[in-house]
Each structure stands twice: as structure tokens, then as C-alpha cells.
Structure 1
Amino acid sequence: MEWRDTGILLGTRKHGENSLILEVFTPEHGRHFGVLRGGTSRRMTPHLQPGAQLDLTWKARLDDHIGALTVEPERARAHLAMASRLSLAGMNAVLALLSFCLPEREAHSPLYHRSETLLDLLGQPDLWPLAYLRWELALLEEMGFALDLTRCAATGTTEDLVYVSPKSGRAVSRAGAGDWADRLLPLPEVLLGRGAAEDAQIVTALGTTGHFLEHHLAASLGDAPLPAARGAFVDLLARQAKTH
């Protein structure tokens, strides 16, 4: 068995004296593992930082074996992530969520390409928070928990949509909410693709997407807690929003 693909390095762990087990996300082969012999060498270590883009060749005698990887570096992203605390925290959140929610060896090509584009924006801090929010929406959609924010679940109107149902993920208008308003999640304009997309609004929106990540996506995976890296990124963005 053999395949070749490009991929994003999600993480590594030591295997034996000189080898590493690489966890990668590829467009055609999904989240995949493989053993890289000599992965701890001085020549390879600089190229195996989380978020790196790699040219991958995977070989195994049988398809269900972990297999062996050979890699060639395509481009690094560590220098972009290290440019600021927010960039580093954001990259860590993306990689951790992909590792957390993606089933092994199942292709999710649209999400892969969105993730690659997002990570390539790490050096543009003005664009990153909004791009990350849109990526979380895409992640929820790809995993089967898309939000429907097109019209009010109660009245059918497309006007004055200000809430999201925590159960259905559908928008609710101010009038449609009625006495249930305090039980609904906020729907800031940035989630509708409108407004100035200020950091404070994005933080509010991430509170809403976070509900569905935790109570719907994570719950479907056995109630495992969301990766701490996601919370760390949102907390850091919230602190940044207060200074602007």
C-alpha cells in the first residue's frame, strides 16, 4: 500500500530512539498517522514544527498498519505563529481541534483547504480573528452541525435575527424569541457576515460557536472536553478586545 499527498503537521510523538510518529491532515487521506524514521535528527527537527506543510509519502504492507512516512518540507509556519501570542494561540487551537474531532483516515477535503488557507493567514493579525471564526463555522458544518442563520426558526422572517437556538442551531428573531430570549444564544452581526467584525463581536460569536462545539460536536464524540487550546485562544482574543 502506498500513497502520496500534501499535509499539515498536527503533532508528533517520540517512537523509539530516533523515530517520530507524525499526525498529519491531508486533503485526500484525512487525518493520518505514520512513522518517520530519523525524525529526531538535527536535519529533520527544524522542518517538523506543528503547522508545517509537508510533502508526504506513506507506505505500509497492509492498509490497516500505521505505516512509514517519508517527508519533504514544503513550507514552514512556525515563524508566522511566533510573530505574536495571538497567532501562536490561534494556530494551536486550529491544530488541536482538527486532531480532536476528525476521524482517522476519512477525507475532508473542503475543511482541509479551509484550514490550509487559514494557517497561511497567520502573519496577518488584522484578518486572523474573523478568518478563524469563519473556519469554526466551516468545521461545525463539515462535522454535521451546521448553523442555519438564514431565517427565524419561529416566524420564518429574515429580519431582526438576534438569537440562535442552542438546540437546533437555527436563528431566532427578536419577536420570535418572546419569553425564551434569556435561554437563547446571541447572534452578533458578524455571524451573519455583516458589521465591522470587531474583536469584541468575534469573541461573542465564538461563545456561540463554542456552545455547539462543546454541547453538540464534543458530545457526539463521547463527551470528551474540548481542547484547552481553543479556550486559551478565545481568552487571549477577549483580553485583546478589551484593550482596543
Structure 2
Amino acid sequence: MEWRDQGILLSARRHAETSAIIEVFTPSHGRHAGVVRGGTSRKIAPILQPGAQLDVSWRGRLEEHIGSFTVEPVRSRAAIAMSDRLALAGLNAVTGLLAFCLPEREAHPPLYARTEALLDLLGQGDLWPLAYLKWELALLEEMGYGLDLTECAVTGAVDGLVYVSPKSGRAVSAAGAGEWAEKLLPLPEVLRGVGAAPDAEIAQGFVTTGYFLTAHLAKDLGDKPLPEARARFVEAFSRGL
């Protein structure tokens, strides 16, 4: 069995004396692991940095085997990430969440395309936070936990939408919330793609997407905690407000 694809490196860890086991996210083969022979060498180790774009060839005797990769660099994102603390935190959040929630070897081409586009914005501090928030919405959608923010779940109104139901993920208007308002999540305009997207609204958006990542997605994956990298990124962003 063998295939070739391009992918985003999610993680790399030492294996035996000279090899590494890597996980890549590819458009056609999803999250896929394999061994890189000589992965700890001076030639290959610098290539195996999280977020790197790689051309990968996988080979294994059987499809279910871990198999081995040969890798060629397409582009590295390490220099940008290491020169910008927010970019590094964002990169770690993206790779951490993908490694956490993607089913192994299940293709998600739309999410892959969005992820590649997002990582290509690393270092652009004026664009990155909003792009990342939209990426979290896309991740929830792809994993089956998409939010419906088009109309009020109670009244059907399309105006005055200011809350999100923590149970259904649907929008709720101020009029429809009534006495339940304190138990609902914030719905800043930025989550609906409306307005100028100020940083304060983006931070509010992270509260809402973070709830669904934790209380729905992570819970259904065995109630495992979200990767700490996500919280570190949100904290780093919020410190700049």
C-alpha cells in the first residue's frame, strides 16, 4: 500500500534511536501517522516542525499498519511563529485541536483548505484572530457541532440576535431569551459575519466557540480536556485587548 499527498505537520516525536513518528493532516487521507526514518537527523529534524507544509509519501504492507513516510518540505512556518508570540500560540492551538478531534485517516478536504489558508496568515496580527475564530466555527461545523445563527430559536426573528443556546447552538433574540438570558452564551455580531469585528467581540466569540468545543465536542470524545494550547492562545490574545 502506498500513496502520496501534501499535508500539514501536526506533531513529531522521537522513535527509537534515529527515527520520528509524525502526524500529518492531509486533504485526501485525513489525520495520518507514520514513521520517518532518520527523522532525528540534522537534515530532516528541522523540517519536522508543527505547521510545516510537507509533500509526503506513505508506504505500508497493509493499510492498517502505521507505515512509513518520506517527506519533502514545501514551506516552513517556524520562522514566522517563533518571531511572534501570538502567532506561535495560534499555530499550537490549531495543530493541537486538529490532533485532538480529527478521526484518524478520515478525509476532511474543506477543513484542510481552511486550515492551510489560516496558517498562511500567520504573523498578520490584524487578520489572524478573526480568521482563527472563523476557523473554529468551521471546525465545529465539520465535526458535526455547527452553530445555527440565522434566526431566533424561540421567535423565528432574524433581528436582535444577541445570544446562543448552549444546548442547541441556535441563536436567540433578546426578546426570546426572557428570564433565561443569564444562562445563554453571548452572540457578538462577529460570529454572524456582521460589523467591523473589534477585538473585544472576537474575544466574546472565543467564549462561545470554546464552550461548544469543550461541552459538546470534547465531551463526546470521552470527556477529554481540550488541548491547553487553545486556552493559551485565547489568553495571549485577551492580554492584548
TM-score class, shorter-chain normalisation, is: over 0.9
- Determine the C-alpha separation between the residues in 2 that align with 1:37 and 1:7: 18
- Determine the C-alpha separation between the residues in 1 that align with 2:204 and 2:111: 23
- Determine the C-alpha separation between the residues in 2 that align with 1:192 and 1:70: 42
Deviation, 1:199, is 1.4
Aligned positions of 1:38-53 closer than 5 A: 38-53=38-53
Aligned positions of 1:71-90 closer than 5 A: 71-90=71-90
Aligned residues: 241
Deviation, 1:47, is 1.1
Name the residue aligned to 1:139.
Answer: 139
Gaps of at least 5 residues in structure 1 are none
1:157 aligns with 2:157: yes
**Which deviations, in whole Å up to 9, do the C-alpha atoms of 1:189-242 show, x marking residues without a partner?**
11111122121111110000000000000011010000000000001111111x
Q: 3-state SS of the aligned residue for 1:11? A: strand
Identity of aligned residues (%): 68
- Determine the C-alpha separation between the residues in 1 that align with 2:192 and 2:14: 44
- Determine the C-alpha separation between the residues in 1 that align with 2:178 and 2:6: 50
Q: 3-state SS of the aligned residue for 1:88? A: helix
Amino acid across the alignment from 1:110: P
Name the residue aligned to 1:36.
Answer: 36
What root-mean-square deviation, in Å, do the aligned CA atoms of Structure 1 and Structure 2 show? 0.6
Name the residue aligned to 2:206.
Answer: 206
Q: 3-state SS of the aligned residue for 1:99? A: helix
Name the residue aligned to 1:224.
Answer: 224
Aligned positions of 1:112-131 closer than 5 A: 112-131=112-131
Name the residue aligned to 2:170.
Answer: 170
Name the residue aligned to 1:4.
Answer: 4
Q: 3-state SS of the aligned residue for 2:240? A: helix
Aligned positions of 1:169-188 closer than 5 A: 169-188=169-188
Deviation, 1:110, is 0.5
Q: 3-state SS of the aligned residue for 1:126? A: coil
Q: 3-state SS of the aligned residue for 2:224? A: coil
Deviation, 1:22, is 0.7
Name the residue aligned to 2:197.
Answer: 197
- Determine the C-alpha separation between the residues in 2 that align with 1:38 and 1:214: 37
TM, length-normalised to structure 1: 0.98
Q: 3-state SS of the aligned residue for 1:72? A: strand
- Determine the C-alpha separation between the residues in 1 that align with 2:234 and 2:136: 12
Name the residue aligned to 1:56.
Answer: 56
Q: Which runs of 4+ in 1 moved over 4 A?
A: none
Name the residue aligned to 1:107.
Answer: 107
Amino acid across the alignment from 2:163: Y
Q: 3-state SS of the aligned residue for 1:156? A: coil
**Which deviations, in whole Å up to 9, do the C-alpha atoms of 1:110-132 show, x marking residues without a partner?**
10110010000002110000000
Deviation, 1:83, is 2.5
- Determine the C-alpha separation between the residues in 2 that align with 1:14 and 1:40: 7
